[in-house]
Structure 1
Amino acid sequence: MELILIRHGTTQGNLEKRFVGTLDMPLAPQGEELARKVGPTLPRVAHIYRSPLTRCRQTAQLLWQGTEMTVIDELRESDFGPFEGKNHEELKDDPLYQAWIGQSGDHLNFAAMPVGETAQQVVDRVSVGLEKLTADAAAHGYERVGVVSHGGALMGLLSKYGRPVREYYGWMCPNCGGFRVSLDPDTLELTVLEEYKG
């Protein structure tokens, strides 16, 4: 079975470099335009599995118009706790935030985030989502499905199951970017066949 794993289109929060997380932001006009542009470049799918958040529903509808969808709650984005909705400028004086970014080097270390969900909690949650998706797609005989989720959720999923192995941030993808992967239903390993740059 093939999965087309796609991060949702651009939101206003993305444009403002905010920790959007579980906030239910719609696509910005730029995000809608991007999804309309990317849609025709993607393979067709038999079904879509998506996060419950509005930005994923809107993206899925624009990428694969008229395709039926199933919501999988476990595919939602990481919960950033009190950092949600805020950006670096608004958080720079917060002691928790300072402690977090002070030890992070080139990237924010989500495994060491002092609030919200830990990276391991996200990995565990999205793993359950992948199990549900796999069982449902197999039961329906789908050969290729679309999966519309979030940057953090996809990084968590691929850091565990993606092949060839990459480090966590090696799986970061832009808005409307992602991967075409082959899913092994027994091991849940996701072998990359193609990468989409959004």
Structure 2
Amino acid sequence: MLLYVIRHGQTDYNREERLQGARDIPLNDTGRSQARANGRTLASIPDLEFPLSQFDWVASPLGRTRETMELVREAAGLEPGGYRTDPLLIELSFGDWEGQTLDEVAVHSHHLIIQRDEGKWDFRPPGERAESYAMLAHRIDRFLTTLTGPTICVAHGGVVRTLFNRIGNVAGDDAAMIDIPQDRVLKIKDGAIGWV
């Protein structure tokens, strides 16, 4: 397996520390700059195993990941639209909590914040579509089985955390706490995982 993964660039929700989840929030100017910088990073990797044009490029279908992908590709010298999307890569849903900060949630659901802090990997927020990291990890397992060659992926912080669990063997609760930067490229090769 050879997989490069980029988290989408910053959005206003990220800047405000709002739970974004599956909401379709656009990039802000900082996020666009981060995406372009990540494209330049990919293009300048000295020991890249294949030409960038030979990778399978895939993104979550949400707008912030598609815009990130197109900016990454353009900055790397490729045609912006030459990628596919996969719904398995959509960020985990925070259900009824989406759009709120954790401080705002704590005002009305302090007991649930305590539950979340005691076991973040398996915690599922309230709401019909809400997911836990464990549920997201099952989707990412399915995504990984679809990879047929070297791949470059633009996804979300939760997706990257599950990759640390599934490929990097980081315990679930620890993986769920990893800070995932929006201005770095993650390389996964033959079970090894680390930032470029």
TM-score over 0.5 for the alignment? yes
Secondary structure (helix, strand or coil) at the match of 2:180 reads coil
CA pair 9-108 structure 1, distance change in 2 beyond 3 A: farther
1:90 CA drift (Å): 2.4
**Larger deviation, residues 83-92 vs 73-82:** 83-92
Q: CA deviation at 1:62?
A: 1.1
Q: Which runs of 5+ in 2 are unaligned?
A: 46-50
User: Paired residue for 2:99?
Assistant: 85
Q: Which amino acid aligns with 2:84?
A: T
Query: In 2, are the aligned partners of 1:51 and 1:57 still within 8 Å (CA)?
Result: yes
User: How far apart, in 1, do the equivalents of 2:121 and 2:111 lie?
Assistant: 13
Q: Distance in 1 between matches of 2:178 and 2:185?
A: 9
Q: Report the more deviating stretch, 148-157 or 107-116.
A: 107-116
RMSD of aligned C-alpha atoms?
2.2
1:53 corresponds in structure 2 to: 62
Query: What are the ranges of 5 or more consecutive residues in structure 1 without an aligned counterpart?
Result: 184-189
Q: Given residue 166 of structure 1, which amino acid in structure 2 is its aligned partner? A: V
**Cα distance in structure 2, aligned partners of 1:21 and 1:148:** 15
Given candidates 76, 101, 120, the residue that maps to 1:109 is 120
Aligned length, in residue pairs: 176
Q: Give the corresponding residue for 1:182.
A: 189
Return the TM-score normalized by structure 1.
Answer: 0.79
Q: Distance in 2 between matches of 1:51 and 1:38?
A: 17
Q: Identical aligned pairs, as a percentage?
A: 27
Deviation at 1:101, TM superposition (A): 2.4
2:143 to 125, 129, 145: 129
Q: TM-score, normalised by structure 2?
A: 0.80
For residue 187 of structure 1, what is the aligned residue in structure 2?
none
Contact (CA 8 Å) 2:13, 2:19: kept in 1 or not? yes
Letter in 2 for 1:102: I
Residue identity in the other structure for 2:164: L
Q: Distance in 1 between matches of 2:177 and 2:125?
A: 22
1:53 and 1:100, CA in 2 relative to 1: closer, same or farther beyond 3 A? same
Contact 1:159–1:171 (CA under 8 A) maintained in structure 2: no
Aligned pair in 2 of structure 1 residues 29, 38: CA closer, same or farther (>3 Å)? same
Listed one character per residue, the Cα deviations across residues 99-134 of structure 1 (whole Å, up to 9, x for unaligned) are: 2322555x97242234211222111011111212x1
Question: Could you say what secondary structure the match of 1:93 adopts?
Answer: helix
